[in-house]
């Protein structure tokens, strides 16, 4: 059972929007592609986990802080006797592990941060967190590589690594151990972990973009084209033909504006300018009023 659904991180979501509305600098294009790849890998891993037949509680994307140290867990599966902490990697291509020096390389020669160190760090911090919460569980920490195009050379057998060809075996192994979660202990643990999650603002990590740099207008929710035309109460995409109700598109675009500019006030004027193709003040005001909480009066009205 997946207790908390995996969602797109704010950082990825913001970059996706910006990528439609401006030409991203090369570094951000790289970040966007890295985040997309990582997120896709986690979805692939979740898909594998759906093959678990034993009783299990799965928690996804957990950011914690223990003694002022933050750590992120991609996936945590709670079974009767064990917690499976998985760090998911969607690496593609040929890699090499130098066991003697405990270092990771891309076969072309470039060294990368050793993901085993990251895993070890998460393992240690999770143990501390469980101790603080008053729980004792055996923890099995694993680095899961999910991309079928990934190869790791010179891999010793005793490392906590699951290769793409071993994912099926990994699932079978968990399925092979009886697990029932009838006692409340597991659910209490899951709930306590979820309530220990911290949220990190994505904005300090992002480059500084400005309103003036961004293309205005509503873009198609399917193909991301700005070629939309208003027909009655719907928007029709000239490129892919998909339709969306105007009020829904305005709400969607308003959430996008809120995410991109979290400190700006939402007013009918700003959203009209942002959406660009909606001529009617009335539609914008009505939609905002229906979805958000109106504050202030008359021309000073804003929405939260």
Q: Which residues are at the interface with Zn ion (CB under 5 A)?
A: 220, 222-223, 225, 237, 239-240
264, 277, 247: which is closest to 303 by C-alpha?
A: 264
Kindly state the smallest distance separating residue 239's Cβ from Zn ion, in Å.
5
Kindly state the smallest distance separating residue 234's Cβ from Zn ion, in Å.
13
Is the CB of 237 or the CB of 268 nearer to Zn ion?
A: 237
Please provide the size of the chain in residues: 304
Is the CB of 96 or the CB of 276 nearer to Zn ion?
A: 276
Kindly state the smallest distance separating residue 29's Cβ from Zn ion, in Å.
22
Is the CB of 133 or the CB of 222 nearer to Zn ion?
A: 222
Helices 246-260, 281-291: crossing angle, 10 deg rounding = 70
What sign for the dihedral angle of Cα 21, 23, 25, 28? positive
Is the CB of 30 or the CB of 243 nearer to Zn ion?
A: 243
Is the CB of 85 or the CB of 220 nearer to Zn ion?
A: 220
Strand residues in 107-245 grouped as ranges (E):
111-112, 138-145, 150-153, 161-162, 228-231, 234-237, 243-245
Max CA pair span of the chain: 71
Kindly state the smallest distance separating residue 28's Cβ from Zn ion, in Å.
24
- Bridge partners, 94 (sequence order): 151
Kindly state the smallest distance separating residue 222's Cβ from Zn ion, in Å.
5
């Amino acid at each position: 059972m997946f207790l908390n659904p995996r969602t797109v991180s704010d950082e990825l979501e913001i970059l996706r929007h910006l990528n439609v509305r401006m030409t991203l600098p090369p570094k951000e294009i790289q970040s966007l592609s890295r985040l997309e790849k990582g997120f896709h890998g986690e979805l692939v891993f979740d898909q594998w986990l759906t093959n678990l037949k034993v009783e299990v509680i799965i928690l996804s994307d957990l950011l914690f802080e223990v003694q002022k140290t933050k750590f992120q867990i991609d996936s945590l599966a709670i079974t009767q006797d064990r917690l499976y902490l998985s760090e998911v990697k969607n690496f593609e291509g040929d890699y090499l592990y130098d066991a003697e020096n405990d270092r990771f390389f891309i076969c072309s020669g470039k060294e990368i941060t050793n993901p085993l160190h990251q895993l070890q760090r998460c393992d240690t911090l999770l143990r501390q967190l469980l101790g603080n919460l008053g729980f004792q569980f055996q923890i099995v920490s694993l680095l899961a590589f999910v991309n079928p195009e990934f190869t790791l050379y010179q891999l010793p057998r005793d490392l906590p690594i699951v290769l793409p060809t071993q994912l099926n075996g990994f699932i079978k192994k968990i399925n092979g151990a009886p697990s029932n979660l009838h006692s409340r202990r597991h659910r209490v643990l899951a709930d306590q972990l979820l309530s220990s999650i911290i949220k990190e603002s994505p904005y300090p990590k992002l480059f500084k973009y400005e309103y003036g740099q961004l293309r205005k207008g509503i873009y198609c929710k399917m193909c991301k084209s700005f070629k939309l035309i208003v027909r009655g109460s719907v928007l029709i995409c000239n490129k892919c033909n998909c339709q969306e109700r105007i009020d829904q598109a305005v709400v969607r675009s308003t959430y996008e504006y809120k995410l991109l500019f979290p400190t700006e006030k939402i007013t009918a004027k700003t959203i009209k300018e942002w959406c660009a193709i909606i001529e009617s003040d009335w539609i914008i005001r009505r939609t905002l009023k229906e979805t958000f909480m109106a504050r202030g009066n008359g021309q000073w009205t804003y929405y939260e």
